[in-house]
Amino acid sequence: MIKRKEASIVKQTLTAKIRLYPTNEQIASFKAITKEYQRLCNIVSQWYFDEHFSANQKVFQKVMYRYLRSESPKINSQMVQSTYRTVKARYDAVETQLYQHPYRYDTEVIDEKTGKHIWKSVPRTLEWLWKPVRFKRPQADYVHGSNYSFVKNCTMISLNVLGERIKVSFKADYLDDLFSANAKLGTAKLVQLKKHWFLHVPVTIEVDEWEKLRNRHIVGIDRGLRQIMTVYDEKGKTKFFNGKQITYRRKKFAYLRKRLQSAGTKSAKRHLKRLAGRENRWMEDINHRLSKTLVQHYGANTLFVLEDLTNVSFDEKNQGTRDRNRDLHSWSFYDLQVKLTYKAQARQSQVLMVSAKYTSQRCPKCGQIYKENRNHVLHCYDCAYCGFRTNDDRIGAMNLYELGKQYLAGNEHPKFELNYVAD
């Protein structure tokens, strides 16, 4: 008797957004604790800057802890210690950003071959900062157990504020993950978004890793603008997710953005910032719902196949206007990919990224690759060799499904080659 190998366990971290419902008195307490925590973080940031970014947690405990406790005696001791970790994480993020954007300058030397100026890049570090990082937004970091916990049969959440601990009702996503037996809750962040209060809790759970031998479904997913997603599965069923309404709203955002940019006033700039935030949240919500729909429909042991859209443009022939070019790069395909990936992993499924080469040109029936088979105007694919005809977005999904089959058959890097070319 052959024993089936048990699936390996992988850890996955999600961020549960907990909506809090505080009373007016509790709101006042939230505002007080977040402003005080913000103030202490700015003190620690100044100290960390003065120490040339070299101070560690032990030095903080020795030099700053007692000072901060005397500076703010009502704040919880664990939260005082959290200020260093908050500041250190912010400087680490800034350091990464600086590294990703080096300083470039013109050497004023002419390249003999190209006749152009030679430019050089200098990597930037934290030493390039001429003032400490400022925490402009009130916030507070909470350590699980010490600063926050779920009470009353997980119907309320207990939180530390200045000089006391309060209980607040809540509503959260990922409830099953929050209260799962193997879930580990990390340091949460208390923030205010407009008039609402949220506690963002990182949740680390253990899930079974996807295995090839147990896979039940293969789903090819073609992403685009006219159809945000076109899905094709092993049963030959196709599902279109139309992007007409999304395109309309995206153009509306672009129109408002253009008007605000042309105004150029301080008020317009504030409105522009709020508009950008609203647009990003809207896009993220759509991607969240799309990925959730797919994962829930197909369930566990599913291989989702997506094309790698890095440096890929859509329908280059039809990019005649500035508006069209803007649209091609304004939708967050990467965000959809990320959301689908972690949702699939939580359901013991997998997302496979493959080369986008020839996926919109190859006939899924005969394998012929011929660019002119696709009519962009009529949105139709008509194979000149075998006569197969269907929607051009469906072609991409069908070919991605085929690459998924090749992967399950043992090809670790499936892709299409130019084997069949029409005369």
Please spell the DSSP secondary structure of 234-291, one letter per residue.
Answer: TTS-EEEEE-HHHHHHHHHHHHHHHHHHHH--HHHHHHHHHHHHHHHHHHHHHHHHHH
Q: Report if residue 417 sits inside a domain.
A: no
Instruction: Determine the length of the chain.
Output: 423
pLDDT for 281 equals: 84
Residues 189, 239 within the same domain: no
pLDDT of residue 26: 97
List Cβ<8 Å contacts ≥24 apart for 119-128. 123/99, 124/98, 124/99, 125/95, 125/98, 125/99, 126/53, 126/91, 126/94, 126/95, 126/98, 127/52, 127/53, 128/98, 128/103
Note whether residue 3 is domain-resident: no
CATH, residue 251: 3.30.420
Query: Among residues 208, 241, 266, which one ends one of the domains?
Result: 208
Is 413 domain-assigned? no
Domain boundary among 208, 233, 258: 208
Residue 414, domain member (yes or no): no
For 315-351, the pLDDT digits (tens) are 444 444 455 444 445 567 888 898 999 889 888 899 9
Whole-angstrom distance, CA of residue 68 vs CA of residue 97: 29
Both 164 and 295 in one domain: the answer is: no
Contact 223, 295 (CB under 8 A): no
Please, are residues 371 and 37 in contact by the beta-carbon 8 Å criterion? no
Torsion angle defined by CA atoms of residues 21, 23, 29 and 30, in that order, rounded to the nearest 10 degrees: 20
In this structure, are strands 302-308 and 350-355 parallel, antiparallel, or unpaired? parallel
Sign of CA dihedral 106, 116, 112, 103: positive
Cα dihedral 78, 83, 89, 94 in deg (nearest 10): 170
pLDDT of residue 44: 97
Specify the DSSP class assigned to residue 356.
Answer: -
User: How wide is the angle at C-alpha 90 spanned by C-alphas 84 and 92, nearest 5°?
Assistant: 100
Per the listing, tokens 């469906």 go with 394
Does the residue 75 lie in any domain?
Answer: yes
Same domain, 247 and 348: yes
290 with 227, same domain?
yes
Helix (H, G, I), strand (E, B) or coil at 146: coil
| Pair 226, 393: CB distance under 8 Å | yes
In a domain, 315, yes or no: yes
In terms of domains, do 192 and 216 share one? no
Q: Report the amino acid identity of residue 153.
A: N
Last residue of a domain, one of 180, 208, 236: 208
pTM: 0.70
Q: Residues 21, 89: one domain? A: yes
Of 147, 148, 166, the C-alpha closest to 30 is 166
Residue with tokens 């700053």: 64
Q: 15 and 54: one domain? A: yes
Q: Are 242 and 359 members of one domain?
A: yes
Direct distance between the N- and C-terminal alpha carbons of the chain, in angstroms, rounded to an integer: 55
218 and 200 co-located in one domain: no
Residues 83 and 117 in one domain: yes
Intervals of the chain under pLDDT 70 = 1-7, 311-331, 419-423
Contact 359, 222 (CB under 8 A): yes
Q: Are residues 319 and 270 in the same domain?
A: yes
What range does the domain containing 29 cover? 9-208
Is 340 part of a structural domain of the chain?
Answer: yes
Q: Which residues contact 16 (CB under 8 A, 6 or more apart)?
A: 172, 173, 174, 177, 178, 200, 201, 202, 203
Query: Sign of torsion, CA 169 174 176 180?
Result: negative
| 199 and 55 both lie in a single domain | yes
Q: Is residue 121 included in any domain, yes or no? A: yes
Q: Quote the number of domains for the chain.
A: 2
